[in-house]
Amino acid sequence: MSRHDNRPHNQIRPVTIEKNIAPHAQGSVLISFGNTKVICAATIDEGVPRWMKEQNVAGGWITAEYSMLPYSTLTRKQRDSTRGKVDGRGTEIQRLIGRSLRAVIDLKKLGARTLWVDCDVLQADGGTRTAAITGACVAVELACQNLIQLGKISELPIKNRVAAISVGIVKGEVLLDLDYIEDKDACVDMNVVMTDKMDFVELQGSGEENVFSAAQLDEMSQAARIGIAQLLEIQSSALARD
């Protein structure tokens, strides 16, 4: 099958990362995966959550919040504050973002401070969680560079970089970096989070009223590796630019 945007099966959408999009954050980016656009902003609070103090846990903490702005989708999405309850999908995604970042950050080197990462979706066209993780990694590194410049830490507390990509099976074919049109028709959908050492941080995969074989899982995993490698290069290029 040919893709509606004529991409090869193992090609990601055009990805751009614009730094310093939110001037009051210690680190921020606007990341675009095709028509999916997410602002990722990292801010730092001196101090740690109460549970860390009560349990005498050394080091700092990283936590994430994720939201889709009302105008990010084709039909207006109601705000959580208006609905009076937190969206379950949003809660699950922000926990994934937090886990992905904590897997690659040395929290002891971060020191007794909390790093908040806010990921706000401006435009959604599939892959918002993978774009958020990939952009959040850059925003966090910028925030940590800011801590070094201020003399609050002596070295980057970053063990590895992390990126994420979606992969799925549509009409029997493995496709990389699904947009909304492809995602809604996928019989298998998977989100893959990996480090720059090509180690897995998390796999989220499920069949949509379908099953998938070990061979298909291997094929999806290999496609994800191709996408992750490209994203890591884009992250490096963005961080190297002034």
Q: What is the Cα–Cα distance from 139 to 2, expressed in whole angstroms?
A: 35
User: Is there a contact between 220 and 169 (Cβ–Cβ < 8 Å)?
Assistant: yes
Can you list the domains of the chain with their CATH numbers?
Answer: 15-240 (3.30.230.70)
Measured in degrees and rounded to the nearest 5, phi and psi for residue 37 equal -130, 130
Predicted pLDDT of residue 88:
86
Predicted pLDDT of residue 222:
97
Q: What is the Cα–Cα distance from 12 to 143, expressed in whole angstroms?
A: 27
Integer CA distances (angstroms), 48 to 52, 107, 110, in order = 7, 11, 11
Predicted pLDDT of residue 156:
96
C-alpha angle with apex 235: 100 to 228, nearest 5 degrees? Answer: 60
User: Is there a contact between 26 and 142 (Cβ–Cβ < 8 Å)?
Assistant: yes
Q: Sort 223 into a burial class: Cβ within 10 Å, 0-12 / 13-18 / 19+.
A: buried
Instruction: List the structure tokens of 207.
Output: 């069949």
Predicted pLDDT of residue 66:
95
Beta bridge pairs of residue 123: 37
Residue type present at position 36:
T
User: Is there a contact between 155 and 141 (Cβ–Cβ < 8 Å)?
Assistant: no
Residue type present at position 83:
R
| Residue pointed to by tokens 């997410």 | 38
Nearest to 224, CA basis, from 171, 176, 163, 188: 176
Q: What is the Cα–Cα distance from 157 to 168, expressed in whole angstroms?
A: 34
Task: Count CA atoms closer than 13 A to 126's CA, side-chain side.
Answer: 22
Predicted pLDDT of residue 69:
84
Nearest to 153, CA basis, from 112, 208, 104, 211: 112
Helix or strand run (H / E) with residue 29: strand 27-33
Instruction: List the structure tokens of 115.
Output: 């790093």
Chunk the chain into consecutive blocks of 10 residues (it has 242) and report each block's average pLDDT, rounded to whole numbers: 90 97 96 98 95 93 92 79 74 96 97 96 96 98 97 96 97 95 93 97 89 94 97 97 78
Predicted pLDDT of residue 208:
78
Measured in degrees and rounded to the nearest 5, phi and psi for residue 183 equal -65, -40
